[in-house]
């Protein structure tokens, strides 16, 4: 689990094809790898990947064919910058929102607009993801936690502040760029609960059903 608060920007140093999968070598930049162990998770521009090799300044991850197909990692080149975030610890502050590192799809930047020091982005997402986006809800773009400022059909708007532009790869994006999109985790759970309640004989969405799913206490408590 992650927060969408990027720790630093690293760079891809190696791309090695392994059948339909790939191993990525990544220079970690200022990311502290002192507490990293083999098997740990690091988000690389959104996707949660497992560390299979590392030293003081770099690490390697294996990327499955599924991840290559559902993210932009398959189109990356040596030298490309990537957003890096280590997995969330239970004692860490949740500065962004809960981000799983499981990418839902690839979005496309439709428009980049400068507003004083800020950048306004309009991003188009696959039609099956659009209904997960809500005004003032959360979305992760290339692993960066952002607030949705508007939704129009299959497009949404976000604003990025100077700090985000300086500390992430978002400042390099232009119209037409493809980005990794992870919708709000809570929205997916709500959809699942609603679809379950709509099933024949389900009886609708009730307090008992919510409690059984882990949301709040049951009436018997």
**Domains contained in the chain, CATH given:** 8-86 (2.40.30.20), 105-186 (2.40.30.20), 187-215 (no CATH)
Per-residue model confidence (pLDDT) at position 96: 85
Around Cβ 103, how many Cβ atoms within 10 Å? Answer: 24
List, for residues 12-44, the tens digit of each pLDDT value: 999 999 999 999 999 999 999 999 999 999 999
At residue 96, the 3 state secondary structure works out as coil
Closest CA to 42 of 97, 79, 2: 2
pTM: 0.86
pLDDT at 186: 84
Give dist(CA 6, CA 23) in Å, integer. 22
Q: H/E element holding 21?
A: strand 21-27
Rounded alpha-carbon distances, angstroms, from residue 57 to 9, 32, 73, 86, 166: 13, 8, 21, 14, 21
Q: What is the pLDDT of residue 194?
A: 76
- Interstrand relation of 8-18 and 81-86 (parallel, antiparallel or unpaired): antiparallel
| Confidence (pLDDT) at 102 | 94
Residues of the chain where predicted confidence (pLDDT) is lower than 70: 196-210, 213-221
Residues of the chain with pLDDT > 90, as a percent, come to: 77
Instruction: Report the SS3 class of residue 158.
Output: strand
């Amino acid at each position: 689990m992650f927060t969408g608060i990027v720790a630093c920007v690293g760079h891809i140093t190696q791309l090695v094809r392994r059948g339909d999968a790939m191993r990525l070598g990544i220079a970690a930049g200022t990311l502290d790898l002192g507490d990293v162990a083999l098997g740990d998770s690091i988000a690389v521009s959104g996707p949660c990947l497992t560390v299979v090799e590392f030293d003081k300044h770099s690490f390697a991850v294996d990327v499955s064919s599924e991840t290559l197909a559902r993210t932009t990692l398959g189109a990356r080149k040596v030298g490309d910058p990537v957003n890096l975030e280590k997995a969330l610890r239970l004692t860490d502050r949740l500065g962004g929102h809960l981000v799983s590192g499981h990418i839902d799809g690839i979005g496309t930047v439709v428009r980049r607009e400068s507003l004083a020091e800020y950048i306004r982005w309009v991003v188009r997402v696959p039609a099956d993801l659009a209904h997960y986006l809500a005004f003032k809800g959360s979305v992760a773009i290339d692993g960066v936690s952002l607030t949705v400022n508007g939704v129009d059909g299959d497009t949404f708007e976000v604003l990025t502040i100077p700090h985000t532009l300086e500390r992430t790869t978002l400042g390099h994006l232009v119209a037409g760029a493809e980005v990794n999109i992870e919708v709000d985790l809570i929205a997916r759970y709500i959809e699942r609960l609603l679809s379950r309640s709509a099933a024949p004989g389900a009886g609708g969405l009730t307090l008992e059903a919510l409690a059984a799913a882990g949301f709040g206490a049951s009436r018997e408590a």
